[in-house]
Amino acid sequence: MPPKVNVLKLIKSWDVLDAETDEGFRTVKTLELKADDVIVGCEPNNNSIRKILATYGNDAFRFISAAGQKLGPEAWSKQYGTNPFAVLAIMRKNQGTGGVHF
């Protein structure tokens, strides 16, 4: 990642499990997250991501697949059909690494 870029700072909102809603989840901001929330999705700030890519280039980010393959954001999206920034942010937030710890 480019210097001082924390993937968690690129997320606008989080989707957490909520069995009491018809949707089965609710959307919250980072400060509204609770220690026992189970994160199942998120909404990246694509404008922030585009700005960083414009500054550092598409090769600034490399995401490592489960098979150990290093992919840029576009290649990841093409291969897996997901946003790699969202996947990484959810993993880090659920693991309690790379950001606010509960």
- pLDDT tens digits for 80-102? 999 999 999 999 988 864 443 32
Structure token digits, residue 29: 């901001």
Q: What residue numbers bound the domain in which 64 lies?
A: 7-95
pLDDT at 58: 82
Q: Is residue 35 part of a domain?
A: yes
- Could you give the percent of the chain with pLDDT greater than 90? 70
Q: Is residue 100 part of a domain?
A: no
Give this prediction's pTM. Answer: 0.83
Burial tier of 84 (Cβ tally within 10 Å: 0-12, 13-18, 19+): buried
Q: Is residue 17 part of a domain?
A: yes
Residue 59, pLDDT above cutoff 90: no
pLDDT confidence tier of residue 2, bands split at 50, 70 and 90: confident
Tell me how far the alpha carbon of residue 89 is from its chain's centroid: 3
Q: Where are the alpha helices (DSSP H) in 1-102?
A: 46-56, 73-80, 84-95
Number of structural domains the chain divides into? 1
Q: Is residue 102 part of a domain?
A: no
